[in-house]
């Protein structure tokens, strides 16, 4: 949907997404590319980062989306930083919060506040290879197939209920960078598809079983 001047108009029914990202932001870019289509059902209304140099900030700016830097360096301790993140996200009144390459652990209070509405993408087939080095660990283990996982966040590290997964073969000669780039192609597609479906159809959670629609 667009105004006569060509600017996108927020659909009243679109779910409000706040995206947290620490790095280059290619997953954010994929969500921003999807959200201009009113039929997508979700719209990125805010971007929050812990990293003042995050590429995500430029992407948000170019897309006309508000962004906030909440750097741990600006807070006297971890608890104060977490309160800062929590407030920065809350002002956008999100329906869903998407962690798209957000490389810090959020406090249990944040996780509880957005329980069932906090979605993470991880570059491995969970429950294998959780943590910050999912691609490196999969490669070191010698697996022949890895991939990506979109999951709800609980208070553990990459332990929440799985929403969707996509497999990516490991090829002879792969190094971490090569494999991660191929995973990220699958990851962007999976994240965009999954978040859109959640926004349009709703998410039903029974223990570890998650169903969309």
3-state secondary structure of 156: coil
Partnered with residue 169 across adjacent β-strands are 145
Binding flag, residue 72, ligand GRF (CB under 6 A): no
C-beta closer to ligand GRF: residue 175 or 201: 175
- Determine which helix (DSSP H) or strand (DSSP E) holds 112, and give its type and residue range: helix 108-113
By the 10 Å C-beta count (0-12 exposed, 13-18 middle, 19+ buried), 75 is classed as middle
Contact between 9 and 1 under an 8 Å Cβ cutoff? The reply is yes
Nearest residue to ligand GRF on Cβ basis: 101
User: Annotation-wise, does 118 bind a ligand?
Assistant: no
Which long-range contacts (C-beta less than 8 Å, at least 24 apart) are formed by 72-75? 72/104
Residues near 130 by beta carbon (within 8 Å), at least 6 away in sequence: 122, 124, 157, 158, 159
C-beta closer to ligand GRF: residue 11 or 128: 128
Q: What minimum distance in Å lies between the beta carbon of 21 and ligand GRF?
A: 6
Q: What minimum distance in Å lies between the beta carbon of 207 and ligand GRF?
A: 25
Partnered with residue 16 across adjacent β-strands are 43
- Give yes or no: 76 in active site: no
Q: What minimum distance in Å lies between the beta carbon of 176 and ligand GRF?
A: 11
User: Annotation-wise, does 103 bind a ligand?
Assistant: yes
Half-sphere exposure of 112 (CA within 13 A, CB side): 4
Instruction: Please tell me the distance from the alpha carbon of residue 201 to that of residue 211, in angstroms, as a whole number.
Output: 10
Binding flag, residue 149, ligand GRF (CB under 6 A): no
Stretch of 10-18, 62-70, 117-125, 193-201 contacting ligand GRF, by CB under 6 A: 117-125
Q: Enumerate residues 166-195 that contact ligand GRF by CB under 6 A.
A: 184, 187
x-or-dash pattern for ligand GRF, window 8-27, by CB under 6 A?
-------------x-xxxxx
Binding flag, residue 160, ligand GRF (CB under 6 A): no
Binding flag, residue 60, ligand GRF (CB under 6 A): no
Torsion of CA 27, 28, 30, 35, to 10 degrees: 150
C-beta closer to ligand GRF: residue 83 or 104: 104
Q: Which of 122, 133, 141, 180 is catalytic?
A: 122
Binding positions for (6R)-10-formyltetrahydrofolate: 78, 103-106, 120
Query: Which residue ranges make up the site for ligand GRF (CB under 6 A)?
Result: 21, 23-27, 100-101, 121-123, 184, 187
């Amino acid at each position: 949907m667009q105004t006569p001047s060509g600017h996108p108009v927020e659909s009243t029914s679109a779910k409000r997404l706040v995206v947290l990202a620490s790095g280059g932001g290619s997953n954010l870019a994929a969500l921003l590319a999807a959200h201009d289509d009113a039929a997508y059902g979700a719209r990125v209304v805010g971007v929050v980062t812990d990293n003042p140099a995050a590429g995500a900030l430029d992407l948000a700016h170019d897309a006309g989306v508000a962004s906030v830097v909440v750097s741990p360096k600006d807070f006297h301790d971890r608890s104060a930083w977490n309160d800062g993140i929590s407030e920065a996200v809350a002002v956008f009144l999100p329906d869903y919060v998407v962690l798209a390459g957000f490389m810090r652990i959020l406090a249990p209070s944040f996780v509880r506040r957005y329980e069932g509405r906090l979605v993470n993408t991880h570059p491995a087939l969970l429950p294998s290879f959780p943590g910050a080095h999912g691609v490196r660990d999969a490669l070191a283990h010698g697996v022949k197939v890895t991939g990506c996982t979109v999951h709800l966040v609980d208070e553990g590290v990459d332990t929440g209920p799985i929403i969707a997964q996509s497999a990516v073969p490991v090829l002879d000669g792969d190094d971490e960078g090569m494999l991660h780039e191929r995973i990220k192609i699958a990851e962007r597609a999976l994240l965009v598809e999954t978040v859109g479906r959640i926004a349009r159809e709703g998410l039903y959670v029974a223990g570890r079983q998650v169903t969309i629609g």
